[in-house]
Amino acid sequence: MYDLAILGGSVVSSDSVEVADVLIKAGAIARVLPAEGSRRADRAGIRASREVDARGMLVMPGAIDPHVHFGLRSRGTVTADDFASGTACAAAGGVTTVIDYADHLPGMTLAQSAAIRLAEVRGQAAADYAVHQNFIRLDADFGEQLAQLHAAGVGSVKVFTTYKDVGYMLEGGDLEALLRAAKRHGVLVTVHAEDDAVIVRVRRQLEAAGSVSPADHGKSRPAEAEEQAVREVIRAAEAADAPVYVVHVSTRGAIKAIAEARRRGLAVMCETCPHYLLLDEGRYAGPNARLFIMSPPLRTPADQDGLWRAVTRGVVDTFSTDHCAFTPEQKALGQSCFDTLPGIPGVQTLLPLVYSYGVATGRITASRMVEMMCETPARLFGLSARKGRIAPGLDADICILDTTARRTLSGADLLSQAGYSPYEGMKVGCEVREVYLRGRLVASRGRFFGARGAGEFIRASA
């Protein structure tokens, strides 16, 4: 007797889409029985406490958003979505695992910093989660600390090439030294790549010219800053002979540099976000410029084209949202582009947008979508033993996607405490139907049925 049977859907993996029944027991996938090739007798004997008819639907692994910020403290306030509401948004959007961040705390080792963050979110999460450990300084024993971090189940660190003013930036040869040590200890280095010197220089120019309104945000962090920083990151990775992962790539120049590096055989991986693919800098000219302030900023249509081409050619490894939600009231606390809280909500709209503008438009296949949203993030961040595929033994994290539905996105229908969506009014060609986390229904058609605290920390392994 199975707990749950999801019957007759088109089960998607990175190499196939086939009609199959998915049988679930005790939170894990027990069997996947293809409609073709499995004996009628096998299928006749199936009994489950609950059966779900998924005919005509895509049945995919729960998506992984490898870049979110829930309950992030910033400039005297905290994001509108804490871990509870953020993971509820995720679940409603078909995202069953999120990867958030742990601050690198003064006087603490990496593992101690991670433990403090994990203790803080435990009991809040409604989806499964992991963390990237921020890395802002090289302590004398940082190699040993990386080993401890890995042993504690955290498989990645994040560094910044900017935010020097708040002490986040790694200087000089520190990135290269970190890359060498991280490779030895099986830790993946992820990088926020914008060149600090360029950003500081442009800021001085804009301040001198009095061009510091929210409408100037795009200018304040130019494409050149990202492209230069990405080239420097590639240089460091090549020198260290180590893999590296660039977060939220937003420009044509940066993705071109990454494509070139990959052609030379370097392990330079990257993510981009729906907002860089679907929104452009024209938003800063509108009345709601603040609501579109995030770092890096929105770019030009030519950058969007370059990113989409890279997605189609397989140069982009994963999609993330950088979900970092603030209400319009919080956003309005800022007077200039420099003091407006940066970040937008997005985790609930990730899958609908990628499906509608990636798969339904023919830019990528459904299999490639599942590879980019499930299998690859699981592999890169050490979660593959439990996440990323619909296969026996893995967690029964499943999303049923109705690709016949047509909807218009509206912040009012979404669960984020931000209260708005940057994608307001955009059409999507699908609906996230049932979402299961380890065999339990956590969301259905935009409504959340999960439980705060039901999410588990997923240790990175391998």
Stretch of residues binding Zn ion (CB under 5 A), selected from 8-16, 29-37, 320-328, 399-407: 320-328
Helices 223-240, 196-209: crossing angle, 10 deg rounding: 170
Residue 322 found at the interface with Zn ion (CB under 5 A): yes
Specify the stretch interacting with Zn ion by CB under 5 A; choose among 111-119, 251-259, 297-305, 316-324. 316-324
Question: Tell me, what DSSP letter sits at residue 447?
Answer: E
> Least Å distance between CB 360 and Zn ion?
27
Cβ proximity to Zn ion: between 280 and 322 the closer is 322
Least separation in angstroms between residue 322's CB and Zn ion is 4
Binding segment (CB under 5 A) for Zn ion, from list 115-123, 319-327, 388-396, 434-442: 319-327
- Least CB distance to Zn ion at residue 253 (A): 20
Span interacting with Zn ion, options 105-113, 127-135, 157-165, 317-325, rule CB under 5 A: 317-325
Shortest Å distance, C-beta 104 to Zn ion: 15
Q: C-beta of 407: minimal distance to Zn ion in Å?
A: 27
Which residues fall within 8 angstroms of residue 238, CB to CB, at 6 or more apart?
A: 261, 266
Residue placing its CB nearer to Zn ion in the complex, 322 or 371: 322
- The CB-of-67 to Zn ion minimum distance in angstroms stands at 6
**For Zn ion, how many residues bind (rule: CB under 5 A)?**
1
Residue owning tokens 């460091």:
236
Nearest to Zn ion of 199, 359 (CB atom): 199
Instruction: Choose one: 20-28, 255-263, 315-323, 375-383; the region binding Zn ion (CB under 5 A).
Output: 315-323
Residue 99 or residue 401: which is nearer to Zn ion going by CB?
99
CB nearer Zn ion, residue 81 or residue 322: 322
> Which of 80, 396 has the CB closer to Zn ion?
80
Beta pairing partners, 97: 64, 128
Q: Rank residues 342 and 388 by Cβ distance to Zn ion and give the closer one.
A: 342
Distance CA 246, CA 231 (A): 11
CA–CA–CA angle 391, 395, 396 (5° rounding): 80
Contact between 46 and 2 under an 8 Å Cβ cutoff? The reply is: yes
Distance from C-alpha of 314 to C-alpha of 310, rounded to nearest angstrom = 6
In this chain, which stretch among 284-292, 304-312, 321-329, 372-380 interacts with Zn ion, using CB under 5 A?
Answer: 321-329
Closest approach, Cβ 320 to Zn ion, in A, equals 8
Q: Which two tokens stand for residue 165?
A: 């003013």
CB-nearer residue toward Zn ion: 132 or 433: 132
Q: Are 246 and 270 in contact (CB under 8 A)?
A: yes
CB of 68 to Zn ion, least distance (A): 8
Give the integer Cα–Cα distance in Å for 375 and 301. 29
Which regions of 273-329 does DSSP assign to beta strands (E)?
Answer: 318-319
Task: Please say which residue, 227 or 322, places its beta carbon nearer to Zn ion.
Answer: 322
DSSP code of 51?
E
- CA–CA separation, 158 vs 70, rounded Å? 16
Label residues 323-350 b or e (16+ Cβ within 10 Å = b): bbbbbeebbeebeebbebbbbbbbbbbb
The DSSP secondary structure of 232-279, one letter per residue, reads HHHHHHHHHT--EEE-S---HHHHHHHHHHHHTT--EEEEE-HHHHH-
Q: Determine contact, residues 250/323, Cβ cutoff 8 Å.
A: no
Question: How do strand 431-437 and strand 398-402 relate by DSSP bridges?
Answer: antiparallel
| Least gap, CB of 127 to Zn ion (angstroms) | 18
Q: Does 81 bind Zn ion (CB under 5 A)?
A: no
Q: Which residue is nearest to Zn ion (CB)?
A: 322
Select 65 or 431, whichever has its Cβ closest to Zn ion: 65
Return the residues of window 20-49 that contact Zn ion according to CB under 5 A. Answer: none
Q: Specify the residue for token string 């499906």.
A: 355
State in angstroms the smallest separation of the CB of 57 from Zn ion. 32
Binding mask 266-305 for Zn ion (x = CB under 5 A): ----------------------------------------
| Residues engaged in binding Zn ion (CB under 5 A) | 322
